[in-house]
Amino acid sequence: MIFENLAEKLQNTFSGLKNRGKLSEKDVELALKEVRLALLEADVNYKVVKTFTERVRTRAVGEEVLKSLTPAQQVIKIVYDELTALMGGAVSGLNLSHSPSNIMMVGLQGAGKTTTAGKLARNLKENGRRPLLVACDIYRPAAIKQLQVVGSQVGVEVFSVADQKPVSIAKAALKYANQNGYDVIIIDTAGRLHIDEDLMQELVDIKSALNPQEILFIADAMTGQDAVNVADSFNQRLDISGVILTKMDGDARGGAALSIREVVGKPIKYASFGEKLDSLEAFHPDRMTSRILGMGDLGTILEKAQKAIDEKDAQQMMDKLTTDDFNLEDFYNQMQQMKKMGPLNQLLEMVPGMNKQLKGQDLSGAEDEMKKIEAMINSMTNKERRQPDIIDASRKKRIAVGSGVKVQDVNKLLKQFSETKKMMRQFGGLATGKGKRKIRMPFFGK
């Protein structure tokens, strides 16, 4: 990408300039040129870019440059604040006050409605709800079958009726939900063009039949300039309640989110990060801002780490790591905690600056390696895990057979483990001593 990092770019633009009191018109103009390009490259609609940069200009010119900041940093701060404000402050959830609460999924073809419906059902179910998926896409070949498969994967019933119009199916589903104690109905509708009058009318009809609490517009994060027209049309006809941004696991900067937010004014409620059915997350405006600007995302990784690792556990682990008590069982737990945080490459991408270093590096190998190690530890007895020293040749052979690897792999694991242990002991010494030393992780280095 051309504008990999706006922060860096602005830094270069301002190189040579030191703090000098107030931001001049020229300073701001210079910075805004880069901001404008970055936003356009991120697919923010050009009209939105125009009004946005105008807003920043008005606010920035004449502003005092804070003592601790350079003019570039000051401009970035203003841009960041304004963007975050535009994206909407707090995280907004779903209105599920009714029983059943009705949720309609709408959008263009291929945005990811069916998959997202499955993910949403899974989320709700995990939160103690009883969701029912409703198949109203009677047009696309095998769409109903797709929802049925997704439904069975997440363990949620799928309601469908053959040879009926979507409006009748939706009505029948409501009745069915009432009779069977479902408290949320998720209606999957067919993808349609916003300019297709007949099909848009169909959505309006479903809406008036069901009175849904939520109408969620599903938007592909890769959408370009036209995102505003599409979202605006859907909103005009249906008065949508929110947006779900899909395919966020790609490298699109997702400027469409900003455009939609500015033009339609409805909150983005969820973002979806992969094809696995557990990859739907609440949307965080501040993180999206960083992504659109290409500035990394420290907030997400911090929170992910916090969620996955209970602090007490972490302290206990730390204590263990630095003593001789550290065994394969602990090692296994440590790996599980890391796994909870998500795929390795996604995790590392969120560290500012890491993005660039990671380009071209394939981390899937490291993940495969982790899987293998997991399998091997799973094949050990509790005693073996706690006292790896007792693992002799015949035990190695059994473990290898049990986990589908070669004996060499088991040897490698044991060797790496003892290296790690040694390293951790050194680290323990360092932690109390002084001096910084780079910690090498034997399991991920090649």
Partner 1 sequence: MGFFDRLFSGLTKTRDNLVKQIKSVLKGKKISEELFEELEEILIGADIGVKSTLEIVENVRERCKNEKIQDGEEVEKILKDELKKLLGENSALKPPETTPWVIMVVGVNGVGKTTTIGKLAAKFTKEGKKVMLAAGDTFRAAAAEQLGIWAERSKAQLIRHAEGSDPAAVAFDAVQAAKTRKSDVLIVDTAGRLHTKSNLMDELKKVRRVIDREMPGAPHDVLLVMDATTGQNGLSQAKVFKETTEVNGIVLTKLDGTSKGGIIVAIKKELDLPVKYIGVGEGIDDLQEFNPDEFIEALFGN
Q: How far is the CB of 131 from partner 1 (least distance, A)?
A: 17
Q: How far is the CB of 112 from partner 1 (least distance, A)?
A: 6
84's tokens: 């975050």
Nearer CB in complex with partner 1: 116/379: 116
Nearer CB in complex with partner 1: 361/378: 361
Q: Are 243 and 268 in contact (CB under 8 A)?
A: yes
Q: How far is the CB of 231 from partner 1 (least distance, A)?
A: 11
Nearer CB in complex with partner 1: 123/355: 355
Q: How far is the CB of 71 from partner 1 (least distance, A)?
A: 24
Q: How far is the CB of 255 from partner 1 (least distance, A)?
A: 7
Nearer CB in complex with partner 1: 293/391: 293
Nearest to 81, CA basis, from 89, 70, 69: 89
Instruction: Give the β-pairing of 101-106 and 214-220.
Output: parallel
Q: Catalog residues that contact partner 1 under the rule CB under 8 A.
A: 1-2, 37, 40-43, 45-47, 108-112, 114, 139-143, 145-150, 153, 193-195, 220, 222-227, 229-230, 247, 249-253, 255-256, 275, 362, 364
Q: How far is the CB of 226 from partner 1 (least distance, A)?
A: 4
What DSSP element (H or E) covers 438? none
Q: How far is the CB of 220 from partner 1 (least distance, A)?
A: 7
Nearer CB in complex with partner 1: 3/417: 3
CA gap 188, 166 in Å, rounded: 10
Region class of 341: left (phi > 0), else alpha (psi between -120 and 50), else beta: alpha
Instruction: Give the β-pairing of 101-106 and 131-136.
Output: unpaired
Q: How far is the CB of 351 from partner 1 (least distance, A)?
A: 17
Q: What is the DSSP-derived secondary structure letter of residue 32?
A: H
Beta bridge partners of 271: 245, 281
CA gap 101, 70 in Å, rounded: 51
Q: What is the DSSP-derived secondary structure letter of residue 19?
A: P
Nearest to 53, CA basis, from 74, 69, 20, 75: 75
Helix/strand/coil for 189: strand
72's tokens: 């570039």
What DSSP element (H or E) covers 349? helix 344-349
Q: Are 300 and 358 in contact (CB under 8 A)?
A: no
Q: How far is the CB of 371 from partner 1 (least distance, A)?
A: 12
Q: Provide the residue count of the chain.
A: 446
DSSP of 139-160: SSTTHHHHHHHHHHHHT--EE-
Q: How far is the CB of 331 from partner 1 (least distance, A)?
A: 25
249's tokens: 């696991």
Helix/strand/coil for 208: helix
Nearer CB in complex with partner 1: 43/297: 43
> Sign of dihedral through CA atoms 341, 344, 349, 353?
positive
